[in-house]
Structure 1
Amino acid sequence: MGIGTNLKRLRSKTKYSSKDIADLLEIDRNTYSNWENEATDVKSQYIPKLADIFNVKIQDLFDDGQKTNIINNIYDNKDSSVGQKDIQQGIIINITDSETAKLLSSQLEELIKNLKK
């Protein structure tokens, strides 16, 4: 994921249109749209200004945004055939990026195959 995708994501969290951002930067709207679409690179002089507009650190403009939250979860098993003291353990994985989900899924499948050997 590049800076253009991050710009789109950050802008979608604000009330700004691409025209609004372009006006704040004093550039043409098409120039800003090209950045979001990754048709052209963002000029370095605008990086600090973009971070200020979106109220983020400069690094946040370049981070891939792929976040994975893993939560250990222990929950009561409601199955009456299992004793009250029996519990199941599980892991909840919340992935916000489809490519990361596919990668993790394939890695887990490989791990399970290796464990069965």
Structure 2
Amino acid sequence: MGVGTNLKKLRSKTKLSQQEIADMLGLDRNTYTNWENETTDIKSQYIPKLAEIFEVSILDLFQEGQKNQFVNNNYDNKNQDNAIGQKDIQQGIIINITDSEAAKMLSSQLEELIKSLKK
């Protein structure tokens, strides 16, 4: 089971459609669908936003057999980062993580980065 399967399960639990999530991320539905089907890798710039939408840690997106808990399944579009969706200025890298230790390390580092940016 990979990140695509986790995305499907999380989306099912939140009762959001692929289109709704794609809209929150400023993407075409096909792009998001390809992530769930694992036909393309998720660009790293979207990983923190996906964790925020599903209200899980970044690591939860990558771990197998997750039992995810949700506190609030509503997503406020007002909190959406204005830079997301402006495809003409987006840049990023694609990270394909197959090692759980690497996923843990990346998750920890990204969470620290996000916290420091919010200050």
Match of 1:3 in 2: 3
Aligned-residue sequence identity (percent) comes to 73
Q: How does 1:1-117 map to 2 (within 5 A)?
A: 1-65=1-65
- TM-score (structure 2 length as normaliser): 0.55
Length-normalised TM-score, structure 1: 0.55
Distance 1:31 1:45 in 2: 14
RMSD: 1.2
1:13 partner SS: helix
- Structure 1, unaligned stretches of length 5 or more? 68-117
Aligned AA for 1:4? G
Number of residue pairs matched?
Answer: 67
Conserved? CA contact 2:3–2:36, under 8 Å? yes
Whole-Å separation in 2 of the counterparts to 1:65 and 1:19: 25
CA distance in 2, matches of 1:14, 1:48: 17
Give ranges in structure 2 of 5+ residues lacking alignment.
68-119
Bigger proportion of residues as strand: 1
- Of structures 1 and 2, the one with the larger relative CO (CA 8 A, separation 6+) is 2
> Could you tell me how far 1:66 is from its partner in structure 2?
6.3
CA offset at residue 41 of structure 1?
Answer: 0.3
